[in-house]
């Protein structure tokens, strides 16, 4: 089922990416045609432009005409919109894994996700491009919720997760009532996990008993990233699909964690600079490459942390949640 969700979300991303690139290219072509048909003001002959003359009537005896050539004001590249609050509600599927328990099967859970946040957007004045920044608080519950695929031979869990995340991304504004956005988010979280049963006989050696005492009924620190694609309609409503990866750590080793985060931040910073260069020369491609590059880099880092939670340092493996979810956002 998880493979189906992943394939389905991948197909959505690919379809949306192709569709938006075609629309962006058509819009660029249309703008170039309009420029050819309607020459700019600088191409028109101006007989007596007001900005080039300054008439001074100080008194009746002194009549001065000053010739001054004023530099034409440049319009800013971006228009900044006011910050707005939003509420998001998502439903999805979650898969739980841990390298220390490869021989054990955990039951898949459904996920209910609620987020309250703010977003700030700016619109490019010379293209369809938009740039969005978000910050939010979220709470998420993982449970069966009537999951018909439950298996009695699998270990069942009930989990809660809450935390903060922040992110940025690019998108397209096709009109005042239709937009498409790709947002990459990352953040910190705290998870409360319950295992049933907590003690389990090892499938490798029946004389060994496995327990989850480090995690069971305990609040544990973690981190996550999420990639979201959303179609925004009527300015107040958005339909979204996302992929989320959560790591839950058995303990928080601050200096090891900080060292790993510095490496991750340096890599993301280099990607940001590269994406800024893409935006200068090919703005219509920026949203697609931004979400693909940032998601790919974080996915690789989190795969390295699957065995060592504070990679590149030799540490214990975390519990990982891989979530595919769909939902809606109400923008106020």
Percent residues over pLDDT 70 in the chain:
73
How many domains, the chain?
1
Within-domain flag for 56? no
- C-alpha distances in Å from residue 68, one per residue of 50, 62, 72, 140: 10, 18, 12, 64
Whether residue 33 has pLDDT greater than 90: no
> Which residues 6+ apart lie within 8 Å of 213 measured at CB?
198
Task: Please name which of 126, 116, 9, 27 lies closest in space to residue 76, comparing C-alpha atoms.
Answer: 126
| Full domain range(s) for residue 86 | 2-28+74-331
What pLDDT is stored for residue 50 in this prediction? 47
How far, CA to CA in Å, does 91 sit from each of 114, 237, 330?
9, 17, 15
Specify if 58 maps to a domain.
no
Separation of alpha carbons 294 and 184, rounded Å: 7
Asked if residue 293 is part of any domain, the answer here is: yes
Query: Inter-axis angle of helices 254-281 and 286-304, to 10 degrees?
Result: 160
Q: Is the dihedral of CA 93, 250, 299, 283 positive or negative?
A: positive
pLDDT at 36 exceeding the cut of 90: no
Tell me the three state secondary structure of residue 213. Answer: coil
Domain assignment present for residue 142? The answer is yes
Task: Say yes or no to pLDDT of 9 above 70.
Answer: no
Confidence of residue 120 (pLDDT cuts 50, 70, 90): very high
pLDDT value for 52: 45
In a domain, 41, yes or no: no
* 237-260 confidence digits (pLDDT tens): 999 999 999 999 999 999 999 999
Residues 169 and 183 sit within 8 Å (Cβ to Cβ)? yes
Mean pLDDT of 272-293: 94
Cis peptide before 312 (omega within 30 of 0): yes
pLDDT number for residue 18:
55
- Decide if 269 is inside a domain: yes
Q: Can you tell me the distance from the alpha carbon of 86 to that of 235, in angstroms, rounded to the nearest whole number?
A: 12
- Domain contains 45: no
**Interval 68-88: pLDDT, tens:** 444 455 567 899 999 999 999
Report DSSP letters for 153-164, one per residue: TSBEEEEEEEEE
| Domain assignment of residue 67, yes or no | no
Distance from C-alpha of 201 to C-alpha of 211, rounded to nearest angstrom: 9
How confident is the model at residue 201, as a pLDDT?
65
Whether 87 contacts 328, CB under 8 Å: no
- Say what the pLDDT of residue 41 is: 47
Residue 270 belongs to domain with CATH number = 2.40.160.20
66 pLDDT exceeds 80?
no
Cα torsion angle, 206, 207, 208, 211, sign: positive
Q: Can you give the pTM of this predicted structure?
A: 0.76
């Amino acid at each position: 089922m998880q493979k189906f969700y992943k394939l389905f979300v991948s197909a959505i991303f690919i379809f949306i990416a192709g569709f938006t690139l075609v629309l962006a290219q058509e819009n660029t072509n249309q703008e170039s045609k309009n420029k050819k048909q309607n020459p700019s003001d600088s191409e028109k002959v101006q007989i007596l432009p007001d900005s080039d003359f300054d008439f001074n009537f100080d008194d009746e005896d002194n009549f001065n005409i000053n010739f001054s050539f004023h530099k034409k004001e440049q319009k800013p590249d971006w228009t900044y919109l006011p910050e707005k609050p939003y509420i998001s509600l998502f439903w999805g599927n979650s898969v739980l894994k841990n390298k220390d328990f490869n021989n054990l099967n955990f039951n898949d859970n459904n996920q209910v996700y609620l987020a309250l946040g703010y977003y700030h957007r700016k619109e490019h004045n010379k293209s369809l491009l938009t740039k969005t920044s978000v910050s939010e608080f979220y709470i998420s519950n993982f449970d069966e919720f009537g999951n018909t695929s439950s298996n009695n031979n699998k270990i069942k869990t009930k989990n809660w997760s809450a935390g903060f995340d922040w992110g940025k991304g690019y998108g397209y504004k096709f009109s005042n009532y239709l937009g498409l956005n790709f947002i990459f988010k990352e953040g910190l979280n705290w998870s409360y996990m319950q295992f049933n049963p907590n003690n389990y006989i090892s499938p490798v050696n029946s004389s060994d008993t496995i327990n989850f005492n480090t995690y069971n009924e305990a609040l544990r620190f973690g981190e996550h990233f999420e990639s979201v694609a959303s179609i925004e309609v009527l300015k107040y409503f958005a339909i979204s699909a996302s992929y989320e990866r959560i790591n839950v750590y058995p303990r928080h080793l601050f200096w090891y964690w900080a060292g790993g985060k510095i490496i991750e931040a340096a890599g993301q910073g280099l990607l940001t600079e590269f994406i800024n260069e893409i935006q200068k020369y090919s703005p219509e491609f920026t949203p697609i490459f931004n979400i693909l590059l940032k998601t790919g880099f974080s996915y690789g880092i989190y795969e390295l942390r699957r065995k060592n939670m504070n990679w590149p340092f030799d540490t214990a493996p975390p519990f990982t949640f891989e979530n595919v979810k769909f939902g809606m956002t109400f923008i106020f």
